[in-house]
Amino acid sequence: MSTSVSAAGGVLKTGNQSSIDYSAVSGSLFGTLSHAGAGYLDSITVTNGPSSGFLDISLRVQGTGTIAYTGPSSNSGSLRLEVFMNGAPGSGAVGLNIVNDYFSNMSIDQIFTASIPYQNSVADISVYLNTFVSCPGAAAGTGGTCSSSMNFLNSATVVGTQVFDSGMNLVTGATLTSASGFNYATGITPPMAPVPIPASIPLLASAIALLGFLSFGRRKQSERSVPAPTPACAI
């Protein structure tokens, strides 16, 4: 298993791979699961606009996933993509909550938009990108292999924003500045360090996502147990 992650203001990248060889000598082979997660926090100040309203942030997500399976099981493995902005599964928070499962090769290039409420001219945002790949378990010596991967290294990038007042009327002429230095109006990052994210926050988000994924896997493969690896998070 391998992972690669990075995060900065306005940009998130993840990539991971999981594999298993069913030709091992004997016994039962547990399924494999790999998780890669990246996230960041930022604070955006709205000027020349209302002190409270909504900030629509558009996130372009690009990536691919593959499953190459020749094993004995009818379940060939799975892929999961999660995109969160000011929210998480089951949190009920206003924001973006995308959870998609795939059971064959996938490709996505899509723009998602979250409407974030703000007050006192400041919007605090949290953005996360999680990818999961898995291969099923089987009896060793049955032959075959499984390899699953996701490549979102050219991935979640903020591509535009709009400001609305509390009545959801579009506000023109408003300007945005961010603590990270990312230009949310144009999607350009100046050469400066991003705002650090507290370590406990991405770990909590990853734990919630991982529990949901494992619960999903148990329903699909009740006869096997899948050990959960330690989540990988990038700051």
| Domain boundaries of the chain, sorted by first residue | 2-234
Above 60 in pLDDT, residue 108?
yes
| pTM given for the model | 0.72
**CA neighbours closer than 13 Å in the CB half-sphere of residue 81:** 26
State the DSSP code for 57.
E
The pLDDT score that the predictor gives to residue 119 is: 93
- Of the given ranges (8-12, 46-50, 124-128, 212-216), which has the lowest mean pLDDT? 212-216
Cβ neighbour number for residue 188 with a 10 Å cutoff: 11
**CA neighbours closer than 13 Å in the CB half-sphere of residue 80:** 22
Alpha-carbon span 87 to 193, nearest angstrom = 24
Joined tokens for residue 72: 């004995």
Alpha-carbon span 51 to 47, nearest angstrom = 8
Above 80 in pLDDT, residue 173?
yes
Q: Give percent of the chain above pLDDT 70.
A: 72
Residue of higher predicted confidence among 225 and 89: 89
Residue of higher predicted confidence among 4 and 146: 146
**DSSP-H helix ranges across the chain:** 200-220
- What average pLDDT is seen over the chain? 76
Joined tokens for residue 172: 């023109």
Q: For 50-71, what is the mean pLDDT? A: 91
State the DSSP code for 70.
-
Cβ neighbour number for residue 175 with a 10 Å cutoff: 11
Above 50 in pLDDT, residue 161?
yes
Alpha-carbon span 192 to 29, nearest angstrom = 47
Counts of helices then strands in the chain (DSSP H, E): 1, 15
Alpha-carbon span 42 to 150, nearest angstrom = 26
The pLDDT score that the predictor gives to residue 49 is: 93
Above 90 in pLDDT, residue 22?
no
Report the range out of 21-35, 59-73, 99-113, 216-230 with the highest average pLDDT.
99-113
Above 80 in pLDDT, residue 210?
no
